[in-house]
Amino acid sequence: MPIILKPVAAQRIVITGASSGIGLAIAEAAAATGARLMLSARNEPALREIADRLALDGADVAILAADMADEDAAERIATAATDRFGGFDTWVNNAAAGIFGTVSETPIADQRRVFDVGYWGTVAGSLAAARRLRQTGGAIINIGSVLGDRTMIQQGSYSAMKHAVKGFTDALRVELLEADAPVAVTLIKPSAMHTPFPQHARNFMDAPARLPPVLYDPRLVARAVLFAAAHPRRAITVGSFGEGATWGDMLAPGLLDRAMASFGTEVQQTGQAPPAETADNLWESRSDGSVESNQPQSVRRTSLWLEAQLRPVAATLIAAGLVALPLAIAQARQRQPRLRQRPRR
């Protein structure tokens, strides 16, 4: 059965983890198009504030406070979206929890919590969405990470969770293809994003945490998500730096291992402690409502690699043109008649 996705402006979109960072960026971008939104996160006051703000600009927004680690969270969100909007067209699994610290020093309970929210929450959300979208068609979009391809030191638990998200997403996509279901399944793989993640993550390092450069604008991920909501794609990587790390891991994994062992910890530490009201939301919600981190770092607002993936034909033509241009110039110079030198008197 062909996969036919509606324009985003005509869609009803579910977004988990919508109270900050990437999830909030997606919500704002989707609302700006006119899509109707079901937003979920643990922090109900933050969700209400976001919904009220978006509604002032004419957005139709519903909210449901839920912890994706709860077994019934996904079904409650799906039911709420059906009750409010009659269903949904795109489901975005974005909720996640993070930890900075070595796997040997991080309590198993905390590592399990990362999986309960980020992996099992994604599984439950995807399956709840798939059961409904098999009948109506639509898109399931899972927010993975470039760390699902290449593990980062001091983020071992989070990296392992994102590896699992990738494996599950690929499995679900193939199963739906086998069943000829009209459902697109996309994995979005952000590079390091300038979100409140370092403030929200539990930190076992001996210094405050930060994400290593290069950092990108979270709104680039929102752009990728909204594109995938209307155009079936297998996977989209946001940020060429992250894509480079993925290729580096395939071509020279041992070299990257040694590089991380040498300076991977240092580049993830800062002298700026997070505000107390935002720190460590692993087990309970903290202050939310911001798309970007409050840490002063250089942020890339564009990604040519992202644009190339969204417009592959145009990118190929441009690349071919860039290669052909100097060759054409060289050939033209070779064809030019050489001027005869006048004999000296």
Active-site residues, by number, are 158
* Dihedral pair phi/psi, residue 264, rounded to 5°: -65, -40
C-alpha distance across the termini of the chain, in Å: 84
How far is the C-alpha of 182 from the C-alpha of 295, rounded, in Å? 42
- CB contact at 8 A, 235 and 143: no
Q: How far is CA 132 from CA 82, 119, 129, 252, in A?
A: 10, 20, 5, 43
How far is the C-alpha of 186 from the C-alpha of 183, rounded, in Å? 10
State both tokens at 202: 């539990």
How far is the C-alpha of 39 from the C-alpha of 33, rounded, in Å? 16
Amino acid at 114: V
* Dihedral pair phi/psi, residue 154, rounded to 5°: 70, -5
Give the residue from 195, 193, 189, 236 showing the smallest Cα distance to 213: 193
- For the chain, the helix, strand and coil percentages under 3-state DSSP, each to the nearest 5: 50, 15, 35
Task: Tell which phi-psi region holds residue 336, choosing left (phi > 0), alpha (psi between -120 and 50) or beta.
Answer: beta
Q: Give the three-state DSSP class for 186.
A: strand
